[in-house]
Structure 1
Amino acid sequence: MTGESYIFLAGASRGVGREIAKYLTEQGKKVKALLRSPDSRSELEAMGIKVVMGDALDAAAMEQAIQGDEPISAVISTIGGLPKDGERADYLGNKNLIDAALKAGVQKFILVSSIGSGESVVAIPPQALETLKPVLLEKEQAEKYLIASGLIYTVIRPGGLKSEPATGNGVLTEDYKVAGTIHRADVAQLVCQCLDADAANHKILSAIDRTQMYGNPEFEVLTLN
């Protein structure tokens, strides 16, 4: 990524999105972050991030946010909600971002989804599925919409998320049957590595910590470089 192009990050206010924001700025990348509420604005601006306000559920606002003055080379979206949130951004918000990215001529879109979405539903226990089902169905819709969009895409499905510091044991695999937990900071590193890795293009990948897996499955790790 050269010149003045930016990475557009949706979901930077918390969780994996905040970790990605930190990691990208440490790597010297230019970041434009979408925020729905101003709570974390000053914190992100202090990191050197350009902040744009808008709600992902508003299609016109997303077009405006991504068009802007700065060319966007890639979009990363970690947006989504919990089952209690009512109208969630998991599908509609991501659909609006994907449409806006297409219109703006963005090259690559990385969607952070979840293990349990799509065919990886086999990897999670039935009781977890019961609770998360509405969210997972929306995430699957967003994945399918992205895949059909014509953009260069990477879908990353993390396992159960923890907030401790990065371990460096995070791995990506195309094996949708694996499950386990992973620290948010490790997911962030894997996501950022996928930005410039052609090996991750047009792939749906599960993200897990190789030391925190359920069972001892044999699986193949995707090599990014």
Structure 2
Amino acid sequence: MENILVAGANGTTGKKIVNLLKKSQYFNPIAMVRKEEQIPFFEAKNVETVLADLKDNVDGAFNKSIDKVVFAAGSGGKDVVNVDQEGAKKLVDASIKNNVKKFVMLSSLGADKPEEANQLQDYLKAKHNADEYLKSKDLNYSIVRPGSLTNEPAANKIELKQHLDKHGEISRNDVAQTLVSVLNDDTANRETFEIIKGETLIGEALHKLSS
């Protein structure tokens, strides 16, 4: 069992990631939360938690032995520089210091060229900077860039390309499943790719990317 630190565990997508990890036979989720009152939710599900704030020192998140990290945190547009950008960088640095084997970054479609976006430019710029920082480090990673998130049921099917030439939607459930799938050692190593809803099974789409 590998210990997976989930940053942003208390978010809508984060909770889905934690649930999938909890059901897995390979991974043990450790929910990173920033408020004490968020802990009982996870304790009730028998999920370990660590208290750490991305705006502050994140070293405490690694008090337990962490094998891999999923960054699914976000400020909801309220503080994109300190959370979405600098918070991600801090967690990358701490992951390197603690010999983490893989860092999975939840990014966004459009983060490759934020200057071309009609809206959310500040957010996409922050995501771009965080992604580029991760790519520049000696740390194995997968950067996943989904389209607009919906609360639709899981379809377990996606369209995946390194560069999609269109925008589109995808359910949080399918994003969470993709993020958990790329935690596998042989999947999407040092890869950046974009996903929207599609017709290819998630596992198959990732296999094509990795082969």
TM-score band, normalised by shorter chain: 0.7 to 0.9
Q: CA deviation at 1:96?
A: 0.6
- 1:62 aligns with 58
When structure 1 is superposed on structure 2, of 74-83 and 37-46 the one drifting more is: 37-46
* Structure 1 vs Structure 2 CA RMSD: 2.2
Offset from partner CA, 1:147-198 (integer Å, 9 cap, x none): 1111001000010001122111234321242421110011010111101152
Q: CA deviation at 1:14?
A: 1.4
Q: Does 1:102 align with 2:96?
A: yes
- 2:167 aligns with 179
- 2:148 aligns with 160
For residues 144 and 178 of structure 1, do their structure 2 counterparts lie closer, same or farther at Cα, with a shift above 3 Å needed? same
Q: CA deviation at 1:86?
A: 6.6
Count of matched residue pairs: 204
Q: Of 87, 92, 95, which aligns to 2:86?
A: 92
- 1:20 aligns with 17
Structure 2, unaligned runs of 5 or more: none
Query: Contact 1:156/1:205 (CA < 8 Å) preserved in 2?
Result: yes
What letter corresponds to residue 43 of structure 1 in structure 2?
F
TM-score, normalised to structure 1, is 0.83
- Secondary structure of the 2:155 match is coil
- 2:35 aligns with 37
Aligned counterparts of 2:170 and 2:149: Cα–Cα separation in 1: 5
For residues 106 and 186 of structure 1, do their structure 2 counterparts lie closer, same or farther at Cα, with a shift above 3 Å needed? same
- 1:49 aligns with 47
Q: Does 1:150 align with 2:148?
A: no
Aligned counterparts of 2:206 and 2:181: Cα–Cα separation in 1: 12
Structure 1, unaligned runs of 5 or more: 212-219
Identity of aligned residues (%): 31
